[in-house]
Structures are given as structure tokens and as C-alpha cells.
Amino acid sequence: MSRRLCGVVVAATLVLAGCGSGGQTSTSPTSGSEAPKVTGDVTVFAAASLTETFTQLGKDFEAANPGTKVKFNFAGSSALAQQLNQGAPADVFASAAPANMKQVTDTKTVTDTPTTFVRNKLAIAVPKGNPGKIAGLADFANADKKIALCAEQVPCGAAAKKVFEVAKVTPQPDTLEQDVKAVLTKVSLGEVDGALVYKTDVKAAGGKVEGIDFAEADQAVNDYPIAPLAKAPNAAAAKAFVDFVLSDKGKAVLSAAGFVSP
């Protein structure tokens, strides 16, 4: 009886040891192979021309990373750069021009090297049906036409200045706006006869406006840089969001909106 009892005890011990060993083997490799998860709020300062695409990418990022919430501040890149340099809390900055990103990198607000993720160029936008009969850049010098442009300190305005110089046209704008969406609104409401906006904005407006391409636009193509911020409140999520924008999924959304890969 004692030998049989000993055998039972030994067998039970081996079974328990085997179960314990198997449990450790099944959980350790699994936890080690999982990608680190990101959670919490991600605050993104982005150029106004990125409104539609980044809003979509924000939803896609949240779906891919449960527990995250992307919050956006869309405005002219110059205004965003100023806000960041004054200490506005944010995790990511996406500018419509390298010059405005440089304003931030110069103050060490961004420490990583920014990545150019898309390019964009201008187009003439007119209300549906083109009631003002705008045919090209030359019409922007006609004081009888109602014209809207971006202010020169924002990327769309700087690009407009360059194309007018190339075309040797002196524009006669009736209004100068602080971001490209404000210009587009003037066109869609029929408040102006024509304006210069990005090609992506014409596409985003759908049937509310019509676009007219012009050759000089190729001389003022805007590069869009993106970077996580040095003092990002959620550094891990900031990097993850930038990586998401640069991913194939991000590229597909941006390309569908009319942006061009660098």
C-alpha cells in the first residue's frame, strides 16, 4: 500500500508540475509578441487644408487603437506655429509648409526631424457655374472681379504670391483670409468670383465650387511636414499617430483626397 500511495503522490506531483510549466510557456511568448498599446488623448495641430483627411485618419486611428481619442486644432499653419511656440499643449504638428514647421523646430518645440508626408498645389476656385467668368490668373488683376486670397503669412498665401510672380500678374484681392478654408467658404457662398485654394480643397468641396488648373501652379508646390512635439503630453500616442499617417492606410486616405506623395 505504501508503494502504491507513493506512486500516486509522485504522479500527481508530476502532473501539477507539468501544468505549471505549460501555463508559463503559453503566456510569456504571447505577451512578449504583442505590440505595445497606446491609449489616452492625442492632440494634433494640423493645417486647415488637412481638415477632411485628418478627421478621417483620426477616426481610423481610434478604431485601430481602442482607448485613444484624437483631438484636432485646424487652422492656418502660421497661427498654429505661433500657438505652439507660446506653449500650447499638443502632441503632433502637421504643417502645410516647411517654413512654418521651421518656426517650431527653431525653438526646439519639435526635436525630431519632421517628415514630409504629402505635397499639394494651388488651383483656381470659382462658384458653381463660374458666374464671374474667371478664365485664368490674369483675371485676378481685374479690379472689377471679386477676388479672395490667403494672407501671405500662411502657406496658401505664400504659394499664391509665388505663382503671381511667375505669371507676372499683380492681383487685386478684395479679401485676405487667415486660412484656406475661409477662402474656400467665400467661393462656395458666391461672395467672390474667384480665389486660389489647394486642389484638395476644390475636391473636398464637391459640387459647391469648380476648379481651374493653371500651369504656374507647378512652380509653387507645397511640402507638408509632420512631427511629434518635444513636450507631447502623450509621447507614445504622438509617435503612433505620426506612424499611422505615414502608413499605407494613411497614404491611401491622403491620395484619395488629391494629395501627392513626396
Q: Which amino acid is at 22?
A: G
Q: Return the C-alpha cell found at 96.
A: 502645410
Q: Please tell me whether residues 182 and 234 are part of one structural domain.
A: no
pTM of the entire structure?
Answer: 0.84
Q: Please tell me whether residues 127 and 196 are part of one structural domain.
A: yes
Evaluate whether residue 214 is within a structural domain. Answer: yes
Evaluate whether residue 7 is within a structural domain. Answer: no
Q: Please tell me whether residues 51 and 112 are part of one structural domain.
A: yes
Evaluate whether residue 6 is within a structural domain. Answer: no
Evaluate whether residue 138 is within a structural domain. Answer: yes
Q: Please tell me whether residues 104 and 151 are part of one structural domain.
A: no
Evaluate whether residue 114 is within a structural domain. Answer: yes
Ordered per-residue pLDDT tens for the chain, 262 residues: 444 434 433 343 433 344 333 333 333 333 333 456 899 999 999 999 999 999 999 999 999 999 999 999 999 999 999 999 999 999 999 999 999 999 999 999 987 899 999 999 999 999 999 999 999 999 999 999 999 999 999 999 999 999 999 999 999 999 999 999 999 999 999 999 999 999 999 999 988 999 999 999 999 999 999 999 999 999 999 999 999 999 999 999 999 999 999 9
DSSP 8-state code for residue 260? B
Domain hosting 146: range is 122-219
Scored b (16 or more CB within 10 A) or e, 197-219 reads bbbbbbbbbeebbbbbebebbee
Give the CB-side neighbour count of residue 225, counting CA atoms within 13 A. 20
Evaluate whether residue 198 is within a structural domain. Answer: yes
Q: Which amino acid is at 32?
A: G
Evaluate whether residue 167 is within a structural domain. Answer: yes
Task: Quickly count: other Cβ atoms within 10 Å of residue 172's Cβ.
Answer: 15
Report the CATH number at residue 241.
3.40.190.10
Q: Please tell me whether residues 139 and 164 are part of one structural domain.
A: yes
Task: Quickly count: other Cβ atoms within 10 Å of residue 89's Cβ.
Answer: 12
Q: Please tell me whether residues 115 and 166 are part of one structural domain.
A: no
Evaluate whether residue 34 is within a structural domain. Answer: no
Coil, helix or strand for 51?
A: helix
Q: Please tell me whether residues 110 and 88 are part of one structural domain.
A: yes
